[in-house]
Amino acid sequence: MAMAFAMKRAATRAISGSIISRHLHASAGPKKIVGVFYKAHEYAEMNPNFVGCVENALGIRKWLESQGHEYIVTDDKEGPDCELEKHIPDAHVIITTPFHPGYITAERIKKAKNLQLLLTAGIGSDHVDLPAAAAAGLTVAEVTGSNVVSVAEDELMRILILVRNFLPGYKQVVNGDWNVAGIAYRAYDLEGKTVGTVGCGRIGRLLLQRLKPFGCNLLYHDRIKMDPELESQTGASFEEDLDKMLSKCDIVVVNTPLTEKTKGLFDKERIAKLKKGVLIVNNARGAIMDTQAVVDGCNSGHIGGYSGDVWYPQPAPKDHPWRYMPNQAMTPHISGTTIDAQLRYAAGVKDMLENYFKGEDFPPQHYIVKKGELASQYR
C-alpha cells in the first residue's frame, strides 16, 4: 500500500511538477495544423454550412493558408501507416472531433516533437491521453458549450422514441405491415415516469429543463450539487448515492464524461440493479458501458430499450453487437454535429487558433489541460 501511494505521488509530480514545457504561445513563422474529420462525399456540397467534414475543413482553410500556415485535413486516422501518423512528427496543432476521433495516444504524443496544442471541435476530449498530454506540457482545449443544446435535444428525442416504442412502428410502415398491437403492447406515456441523469453538467441541466414540462419525476447524480435556484428551475432532486438513484429510474440518461473512474461504469453488476425493463439513453461515451453487459440486458429484457449515438471504438465495426441486439435505437455519432453545432464549434476553433497565433489565453472554460493540470471533470 505504501508503495502504491509512493507511485501515485510520483506520477502526480510528473504531471504537475516536472513538465517538459511546450509554450502554448506560437512562435513566429508558419505552423503546421492537422485536422481529422469525417468525410462527407457527395453531401459536402449540399449545404454550404456543412463545415465539420474533411471537404469543408471547418471553413478555415483559406484563412489559415492566407497567413502562410500549412493545413492538412484527413479522415485517415488508424494504424501505423495512416495519414494522421505521417504528419504527427512535425504538427504544431492537431484538431479532431468526437464524431470521428483521432486517438492521440501516449505513443503518438512522444513522436510529436513540435506539438503544442490539441483542439477538439466539439466537446469531450477523451480521445486524447490526457495524463500523457499533461506530462508532455501540451495544451488541450475544446469548444465548451458548442453543441450542448444539440445533444440535449437529441437525448429528449431518444427518450420519446424508446418510451413510445416508435421504431417498430416505423419498420412496419417501411415493410408494408400494419400491426397496432405489435407496437402498443409496450408503448407508454412519458408523464409520471422517473428519469435520472448520471452526470448533470451543461447537457444534463438542459435535458432536465426540457423534461420538466412533461411532468416527470426528475433525479440527478453528480459530483457537484446544483444550487437551490437551479434545482428549482429544473425541478430535479439530487441523489448522492448513484445506485440508490438508479434503482428508482424508469429511464436512465448517461451524461458523464469518460474518465478512468467512469470507464465501464455500467457493468453487469450495476445493470442488474436497475429496474427490469429500464430504458437507457447514452450520448456520452460508449466505453462508459460494458458492451456485452448491455447486449445481455437487452436480450434478456432486463433493459427494455437502449439508444445512443456513441460506440467504442468509433466508427463502430460492422460486427459490433449493439447493431444487432433487440430494442435498440442506435445511430452513428450524430447528436452533437448538427449544422448549427458545426457552425458554433468551427467558430470556436477559429477563435482559439487566433488566440494561439497572437499568444493570448483561451476562455478559461475551454481548457481541458493547461500547464500540466487536468480540468476537474477529468481528474
User: Which positions are annotated as active-site residues?
Assistant: 147, 285, 314, 333
Annotated binding residue at 333? yes
Beta bridge partners of 221: 198
Is residue 48 part of an annotated ligand binding site? no
Residue 147 counted as an annotated binding residue: yes
Q: Is 203 annotated as a binding residue?
A: yes
15 is in an annotated binding site: no
* Cβ neighbours around 216 below 10 Å, total: 21
Determine whether 292 is exposed, middle or buried from the number of CB atoms within 10 Å of its CB (0-12, 13-18, 19+): exposed
267 is in an annotated binding site: no
| Strand-by-strand arrangement of the 373-374 sheet | 70-74, 32-36, 93-96, 117-120, 139-142, 367-370, 373-374
8 labelled ligand-binding: no
**Nearby residues of 17 by Cβ (< 8 Å), 6 or more positions away:** 372
| Number of Cβ atoms within 10 Å of the Cβ of 342 | 27
Is 189 annotated in some ligand binding site? Answer: no
Angle between helix 148-163 and helix 166-174 axes, rounded to 10 deg = 80
Q: Which residue has the cell 475544446?
A: 142
Q: How far is CA 56 from its chain centroid?
A: 22
Q: Is 260 annotated as a binding residue?
A: yes
202 is in an annotated binding site: yes
Binding site annotation covers 222?
Answer: yes
Task: Please tell me the distance from the alpha carbon of residue 255 to that of residue 235, in angstroms, as a whole number.
Answer: 18
259 labeled binding residue = yes
- Known binding residue 87? Answer is no
Alpha helices in 235-338 (DSSP H): 242-246, 268-272, 291-300
Enumerate the known binding-site residues: 123, 147, 202-203, 222, 257-261, 283, 309, 333-336
Enumerate the known binding-site residues for substrate: 123, 147
